[in-house]
Chain A
Amino acid sequence: MRRVLLVLTLLLLTGCRADGGGAVLTGECAGQDGTGIDADHVKVGGIYPLSGPASAYAAVAQGASAYFAHLNRHGGVDGRRVEFLVRDDAYEPARAVEEARRLVLHERVFALFQTLGTPSTAAVREFAHRWKVPQVFVATGAAAWGAEAERRPWTIGFQPSYVAEARVYARYLAEELPHARVAVLYQNDDFGHELLDGFRRAIAGTSVRIVAERGYEVTDPGVQGQLANLAASKADVLLDVSTPKFAAQALAADAAMTGWNPLHILNGVAASPAVLQPVGYDKVQGVITAGFQKDPAAPEWADDPAVRTYLTALERYAPEADPGSQQVVFGWSAAEAFVKTLRRMRCPSREALRAAAHRLDDVRLGMLLPGITLSTGPGDAFPIEAEQLSRFEGERWVPFGRVIDTRAGPAGQ
């Protein structure tokens, strides 16, 4: 009894300490921070827009939760059950930081697994850095998470960055349409500029040329005017760097213009059924995008064991989720990557998780397209850097060509 009291007092004392630490390890991992992890449990927090304008992305949390539930049923990670706490930031950075603070200081999670969206992730990154808490496999394509890993090593991305995506399009055009004249529609913010600048750098030295570019503001009502402007350029290719609502408008406007029929390249952010269906599948035939995940509804994966596991688990643990959604697959894949990273830790500590995330060598995930793996190492903090192009045919995206790895070759760096 006395000992229990003593332990409780110690716990309370450490709990009141403002350093966020607590469980300092001893032995071969001496001095490392083992908060939120013990022999039976590991406590993890994720922050997603469950409400508000971006609430469609809540599907990512459904996919991740389903994976952890599936994993726990099959014994967890090396005997540890993953306790996954999901919090809502309504896509507001200030709320994201507040939730991160609660998760880290009050719930005392081991790590933050995913924050969603570039603004929220950037805000939480500073907090994670100050408290030395891993913020792993964030759900945003900004290149900053990898490019600034030296300064902010506790945060790491997951999906191919917008720059990598731009390289995929550039490489495809250079090979298939070497003299392409490209018109670009872009969102006038960090996202749009990152992809556009990446594309501009990637086509340097090729004969692909940008002949027109028009931006729009997220506050604009529509992009019909921009499309009419771009049509005047008579370009062969339309690179469409827009977010869902504007992408739907651009696709519809492109389809309505009978005098201009460019190859429409739709960036991955907007390549979801929620965008294409309102436009009408008959109007988006032949549109191209880049992707890195399997489409669970595709006939070519009907007998794939990973896809079958995914579908069964989704049905059991997240029956309200749409298993065909790429967002759900994304959450599932990131959770699987997280668990594989946990398995690679040398000690049960935050420092070891950070190190493991920066030391991934060709890690395979069930729901990634064959040939696409996770790799990081010294000077490379970008886990996925390969993508494959898909063309919209009938009612779905059909992958074609080979996997394009943006690490290798002249366009890579």
Chain B
Amino acid sequence: MFGQQLLEGLGAGAGYAALALALVLTYRFTGIVNFAQGELAMLATYVAWQLVVSGMPYWVALPVTVALAFAAGVLTERLVIRRLESGAGEVTLVVTTIGLYVLVNALATLVWTAALRAFPSPFPDSPPGLAALAAAGVAGAVLGALALVVRRTGLGLVMRAVAADARSARLSGVRVGRVLALGWGAAAAVGALSGVLLAPTLFLEPSMMTGVLVYAFAAATLGGFDSALGAVAGGLAVGVTETLAGTYLGFVGADLKIAVPLVIVVAVLLLRPQGLFGSAPVERA
């Protein structure tokens, strides 16, 4: 029984983790919190659904969708965010992402209506526990691949340089603009993955990612907003506590269940303001 619930929690957590990872990527590269991350993921999931429904095999549709999401992320950065970045402050940018959130949601409702859609599961006949584990595995694999790129390649070095200090990087000859667009692209691609992972259990509809975004924020904050590993660990932790607290903490009940991960977040932040895996800001004296 405990094992079953742990698996359920991990499965849900994998989806939260992927979206949290997308939030963290955008934040690390551009320094803003992208409120539209969940909606972009939902849009990508609709694209995947449309591809599968039109007859494309699942395992072909998945990489095609991720590639399309990557391109869409790059385009959003180039066409919308960059134009605002030069003149406006961070607050304007964040509000722009909220506008994007509303726009994307309305567009999806316009195109696909609010009707529920069944999204195919990659492992249709496996027991729910196994599917959850596989979802967690996919999230882990993506994190591993990202880590490899960031730590071991020249591109990764450039990305880290921009994330650490965009101005110095530019002075050293790095084309910062391209790297930023790349960051948005990577975030959108990871977000698309979170949507595709969650859709078989949540059912696809325009507000599918709205609730997930809250949990992803909790996960990213818990792990430390600038740590990719922290986002994944935070996502899994939030998924598991949320599921187990309902069963094993009798006094928590239905009303407080949603609060449990958030209480943990507050407790962690009181002790470690930078989050579990985040790095504390250091200023040279």
Contact = CB atoms under 8 A, between A and B. Distances in A.
A104 B117 CA distance: 39
Contact of B258 (A53, A217, A229, A232): A217
A275 interface: yes
Contacts of A216: 254
Given A225-B242, A245-B203, A279 B118 contact: yes
B199 to A, nearest CB: 11
A312 interface: no
Contacts of A226: 246
B246 A214 contact: yes
Interface in A207-254: 213-217, 219-222, 224-226, 228-229, 231-232, 244-245, 248-249, 252-253
A226 B214 CA distance: 18
Contacts of B116: 244-245, 248, 274-275, 278
Given A221-B202, A222-B201, A188 B255 contact: yes
Interface in B1-21: 1, 4-5, 8-9, 11-12
Contacts of A277: 118
B201 A232 contact: no
A295 B257 CA distance: 39
A228 B1 CA distance: 9
Interface residues of A, number: 36
A297 interface: no
Interface stretch (B60-68, B137-145, B204-212, B270-278): B204-212
Interface in B74-116: 113-116
Contacts of B5: 225, 228-229, 232
Contacts of A280: 118
B128 interface: yes
B247 interface: yes
B173 interface: no
Contact of A215 (B9, B212, B255): B255
Interface string B213-251: 011000000000000000000000000001100110000
B55 interface: no
Interface residues of B, number: 37
Given A225-B8, A274-B115, A245 B255 contact: no
Contacts of A275: 116
A312 B184 CA distance: 55
A220 B258 contact: yes
Contacts of B205: 245
B147 to A, nearest CB: 27
Given A214-B246, A232-B247, A253-B201, A220 B211 contact: yes
B117 A278 contact: yes
Contacts of A16: none
Contact of B201 (A231, A249, A274): A249
A188 B205 CA distance: 21
A55 interface: yes
Nearest to B127: A258
B198 interface: yes
A56 B8 contact: no
Nearest to A215: B254
A229 B128 contact: no
Nearest to A259: B4
B246 A256 contact: no
A232 B3 CA distance: 12
B214 A219 contact: yes
Given A215-B254, A248-B116, A53 B9 contact: no
Interface string A263-287: 0000000000011011110000000
Contacts of B1: 232
A178 B151 CA distance: 64
A177 interface: no
B254 A188 contact: yes
Contacts of B4: 228, 231
Interface centre among A53, A213, A221, A231, by most chain B C-beta atoms within 10 angstroms, is A221
A255 to B, nearest CB: 10
Interface string B251-264: 00111011000000
A257 interface: yes
Contact of B203 (A56, A214, A219, A248): A248
A278 B118 contact: yes
A214 B258 CA distance: 12
B210 A219 contact: yes
Contacts of A253: 128, 201
Given A221-B202, A279-B118, A228 B255 contact: no
Contacts of A279: 118
Contacts of B246: 214, 225-226, 229
A252 B212 CA distance: 19
Contacts of B215: 221
Q: Which of A213, A220, A232 has the most CB of B within 10 A?
A: A220
B243 A221 contact: no
Shortest beta-carbon contacts, A-B, top 10: A215-B254, A221-B211, A278-B118, A225-B243, A228-B8, A256-B128, A221-B212, A278-B116, A222-B202, A229-B247
Interface of A: 53, 55-56, 186, 188, 213-217, 219-222, 224-226, 228-229, 231-232, 244-245, 248-249, 252-253, 256-258, 274-275, 277-280
Given A224-B11, A252-B203, 16 more contacts: A55-B113, A188-B254, A213-B254, A219-B214, A219-B258, A220-B258, A221-B209, A221-B211, A221-B212, A221-B215, A225-B243, A225-B257, A229-B5, A245-B116, A245-B203, A249-B203
18 contacts: A56-B114, A214-B254, A219-B211, A221-B12, A221-B198, A222-B198, A222-B201, A222-B202, A225-B243, A225-B257, A228-B8, A229-B247, A231-B4, A252-B201, A253-B128, A256-B127, A279-B118, A280-B118
